Chain A
Amino acid sequence: MSTPVTASADSPPSPVSKPEPRIDRRRLRSARTKQAIIEAYLALLREAPQVPTSTLIAKKAGCSVRSIFERFVDLHALRVAATDYAFAEATAQVATSDASGGRQERIRTHVRTRGAICDRWLPLWRALNANRGESVELNSRMVLMRQAILKRIELMYSPELSTLPDLQRRQILIVIESLIDFESWGRMRDYNGLDFEEACTVWIQAIDRLLPATPVS
């Protein structure tokens, strides 16, 4: 068995460093399995509200239970990783939506993006809420998500909010955040039986009523 030799940054590549691509492929496979496990966990949450077992996750991901625990110390760590994955995806989705335009255009864009995120991530949000307990990692991520939602509201409605004194501005932010909460969306879809468009209309009309008049530029 040969002693592994690693090339330093300033030394020329040596023939001994050839095994690297094999290691990279292994790493790549391992990263793919990790991703498949996260996606399997999220898919199972969408299918049923109960927290999926490691056996179910492994079956869905097409790997062994051992593979899961080689990549995540426990199911809580998997939940944290799935939350990070969801947060990154939702942030990217929000970033592509346009924050400019007239009042109605901005409200529509904001609501439709938020509605799509709620539709996609509500099951994960529910699982997070049910299992966060005393977990510092999950609680801090939930706070980060709320802060991101608030920042988005501030950005989307900055022309209207800029006309208000601090206290009123804060009140409107709190109310809009409360209105466009995951569970508020969930109730419109599950309990009130609204389709995506109808649910968006409810939020669009409410935000329009809550915001002050748009200043004339």
Chain B
Amino acid sequence: MGLLQQPAARASKVDGRRLRSIKTRRRIIDAYLSLAHEKSPLIPTAVEIARQANCSVRSIFERFSDIHGLQVAAVDQVLSEITPPPPPREGDDRLTRIRAQVETRSRSCERWLPLWRSLMANQGESVELRQRAVALRERIVARLASMYEVELSTVSPADRKRLLIVLEALTDTESWARMKEFFGLSFEDACQTWTQAIDRLLPPTPSRA
């Protein structure tokens, strides 16, 4: 019967299978992300992931070589879904830019803290996960450099580098978590703490000619 099948029908069957496989892959990644968020910093087991994704454990390992491979794919999916925040609008004053950057960063920390902790706790010797953690930090530093270019352009390259290191450390995900968990600050109070600190740390804004 298969031999008599028309090429178009065969192709559509193959495409249907591929599509189902892609959908299952996506469901597995979503299940992993949801469980990693819930159980952070522990890694969910294959059985738990399969149950949540409504597939068999075998289905997971048909698509990923191991749980580490799934972790890497999940991090990549998250990275691809993060929309880069808009650049500062021309004419925005210092405080508006600081508030905008703090607002975006704090929302990101709130949303991704459990996954970030899971990534940090389980990266071990994994080159792939370390590379992704580095890529995330680089994005944060690039955003800081873009938001505060006006102020950073007034200092020497060495001072600029130091300031970026400090701003990145200050607005780290764990720094946000400590403000909320250890010091018991509300979202607004934590944002205010970062806003005031960044204002103190940045050099004076040059006046427009």
Which residues of A are at the interface with B, using a C-beta cutoff of 8 A? Answer: 49-50, 129-130, 143, 146, 168, 170-172, 174-175, 177-179, 181, 183-184, 187-188, 191-192, 194, 201-203, 205-206, 209-210
Contacts and interface: CB of A to CB of B under 8 A. Distances in A.
Nearest to B174: A183
Scoring B174, B185, B197, B201 by chain A CB atoms within 10 A of each residue's CB, the highest score goes to B197
Given A171-B193, A209-B200, A209-B201, A178 B178 contact: yes
Contact of B174 (A181, A192, A206): A181
Contacts of A187: 137, 165, 168-169
B91 interface: no
B135 interface: no
Contacts of A191: 134, 137
A202 B170 contact: no
A171 B162 contact: no
Contact of B165 (A49, A174, A177, A188): A188
A181 B173 CA distance: 12
Interface in B142-168: 159, 161-162, 165-166, 168
Scoring B41, B169, B182, B183 by chain A CB atoms within 10 A of each residue's CB, the highest score goes to B169
Interface string B167-204: 01110101100110011010000001110110011000
B78 interface: no
Nearest to B159: A205
Nearest to A142: B182
A210 B163 CA distance: 12
Contacts of A171: 192-193, 196-197
Contacts of B179: 174, 178
Contacts of B159: 205
Contacts of A130: 41, 121
Nearest to B41: A130
A173 B169 CA distance: 15
B86 interface: no
A202 B124 contact: no
A175 B197 contact: yes
Interface in B104-158: 121, 124-125, 134, 137
13 contacts: A171-B193, A174-B178, A174-B179, A178-B172, A178-B179, A184-B172, A187-B165, A188-B169, A191-B134, A192-B165, A201-B162, A202-B166, A209-B201
